[in-house]
Structure 1
């Protein structure tokens, strides 16, 4: 394949992949749109954003589906990005987003490498023990992870500028990689979310995986048959959680829903629930606040930077149990949620797309 001829002012945004509708994916789309950049990524699936949200200038590396599985994906993507390094070098300014995308970074001095770090890979650093228990790694896998860590740190070392998506992630970068970073919070399209009233339900939009702790939310509503929970997401735990709530007619699982329906659900909910383990940033609470809806969250990770306890939501102790979650839901009555509407809407403006682009302009040096 011939290396494309690049305009000398053209920029490229390199993101791992588009497999879900998450905060990292929104960051990459926003950067590509606002900087009129080429968007390069490993692959895209039908579960992610609609095609019309992507610019015409995309570069899909087409990672085969057999390599898109957890456990294989990061290494396979790293190899695919590494092989694209020569192509990426044709762009004078490169922004990398994700865990494997930085492997595409050319050596320092050949342009500008900017890393928007959502977090140092959790399976290598702060959540290493959790992932080791899940996969029950063999000596060969341990060796492979160590090689991946060294290659990741080498790619990290080729970055001219490192941007963290939260103070939480900045501290992880300092702890695990020994380098400082500037904080630029991810963008929320605050104009897209509106308060649409209060229908009688609470909403969870977190991906269904163990570290998101949606199982505790489900267990809490099993104990509250008079309150309705809507779960608008999917993930590895989807079928398990549906079975868990099989006898609870007050819990509805929708799977992934389109952007328009998601915004309507947020706009009509009483409040949202989001209780992950030490979240990097968490765009869902900001989207909730943009719609004037308070958040029942947890006092760790990025949620400490977005939610104001007692004003825009309630924050549980990191060691919370299901009983405490039940108490929080019962305390967040429709009336109390309504009193927080104005504060929520005002708070969300701090994480608007315009502020994000201003911060990234400074980081890029424009």
Structure 2
């Protein structure tokens, strides 16, 4: 079966780009990747050799004018129906608009999330409270998008969500019948994890450096931890490691200001896969402070390396991190985060126990299982269309 795998912008090192690689590598179908913005230097190097086809190019800026222009371009983008038997569309916002002009072949939605600025209440509240256009303008833009987006969602033959959190978001907003939604968790390859040696007194916060990751909470919690820690715990440091794309540079500057020159808070923004594995292997614990994560691969990667996870008790993080088993789930405020850090730092036996349960938990989330589910859904679509 020839499958057009579409995602509007392939330019970062995030979970979606990693999923594109794994689907292309592992699917039993003939996969060809299409996008409206391809930056081989900014994303994972593996994608450069996967014959990615760039269609009419759109901006990756997140201003209202740039997003509107991108949406209009996606609406009018046409894939040649003679070149594929089905479309597998990766959705994290604007992607469903592609279906308006591409309804001649079956379309499957691999949903990482519907547009968070519209359908995720926590994210939406932050957008409405932020800068940019006035609140009434934002609400008008949201209403217009909802109207068009709901039309687009009617064009999907099947929907696969990457987490129960995402499935609830889709169902609660009545975008697709809940009973018809498939679930496929992304994953890791535990056998590829670097063996955990002796951990260093280092809390690792891995992944893209962007505002949705709520990194300021980890910094505030760590600084409070230091202010209250006895001398024996003053040796701990916080290491934040991940890429910073152009639109996140102002946020990165804010984080550095929040760090306030504290030498025990360090940043690393050029991180290869090998380097990240080495950091996981050295970490005492891994932090996941995102305010309402859709799913999140980093906690699973941490568990695969046998490291405990300290995460916000919100969103998809609750689906992977088992409180008191593979890590700790805490409320999203600095005091709670500081208390969690202190508990893991001062009790080495606890940290070791939580970490030891991680590999078995991570083994429940694997790329082969993820791709097998997608292939099975595509098989069903093919049977019905033949």
Task: Give per-residue Cα distances to partners, 1:59-81, cap 9 Å, x unaligned.
Answer: 123625xx321124543333333
Alpha-carbon contact 2:88-2:108 (below 8 Å) kept: yes
- Measured in 1, the distance between the counterparts of 2:194 and 2:376 equals 30
1:291 and 1:242, CA in 2 relative to 1: closer, same or farther beyond 3 A? same
**1:117-141, Cα deviation, whole Å (9 max, x unpaired):** 1111111122323212213424555
101-110 or 302-311, which moves further after superposition?
Answer: 101-110
* Residue in 2 that maps onto 1:238: 252
Deviations 1:264-321 (A, max 9, x none): 111211110002112111111111111111110122211111011111100013xx42
Structure 2 vs 1, CA of residues 50 and 213 (structure 1 numbering), >3 Å: closer, same or farther?
Answer: closer
Distance 2:66 2:50 in 1: 26
- Give the conservation status (yes or no) of the 8 Å contact 1:19–1:45: yes
Tell me, in whole angstroms, the C-alpha distance in 2 between the residues paired with 1:114 and 1:160: 6
Question: 1:50 and 1:300, CA in 2 relative to 1: closer, same or farther beyond 3 A?
Answer: closer
**Aligned residue number for residue 129 of structure 1:** 125
* Superposition deviation, residue 246 in structure 1: 3.1
Distance 1:240 1:47, change over 3 A: farther
How far residue 41 of structure 1 moved from its aligned partner, in angstroms, is 1.5
Where relative contact order (Cα < 8 A, 6+ residues apart) is larger, the structure is: 2
Matched, 1:22 2:14: yes
Q: Structure 2 CA distance, aligned partners of 1:54 and 1:349?
A: 29
Q: Which residue of 1 is the match for residue 278 of structure 2?
A: 264
From the two aligned structures, give the one with the greater helix fraction. Answer: 2
CA distance in 1, matches of 2:308, 2:81: 42
3-state DSSP class of the match of 2:118?
coil
Q: CA deviation at 1:228?
A: 0.5
**1:75-154 aligned within 5 A:** 75-87=68-80, 90-98=83-91, 99-105=93-99, 110-125=104-119, 126=121, 127-138=123-134, 142-154=139-151
Q: Distance in 2 between matches of 1:346 and 1:53?
A: 30
From 225, 229, 241, give the equivalent of 2:238. 229
Q: 1:171 aligns with which of 164, 168, 185?
A: 168
What 5-or-longer segments of structure 2 have no aligned partner?
A: 227-233, 381-386
Change (3 A) 1:70 1:174: same
Q: What is the CA RMSD across the aligned residues, in angstroms?
A: 2.3
Q: Distance in 1 between matches of 2:116 and 2:305?
A: 30
Q: How many residues get paired?
A: 354
Equivalent residue for 1:5? none
**SS state at 1:135 partner:** coil
**Equivalent-residue separation in structure 2 for 1:278 and 1:13 (angstroms):** 27
Any conservation in 2 of the 1:199–1:269 contact (CA below 8 Å)?
A: yes
Number of the residue aligned with 1:192: 192
- Residue deviations 1:43-101, cap 9 Å, x none? 2336743333444321123625xx32112454333333333224257411111012222
Match of 1:70? 62
- Separation in 2 of the partners of 1:87 and 1:344? 45
The alignment partner of 1:85 has SS state of: coil
TM-score (norm 1): 0.89
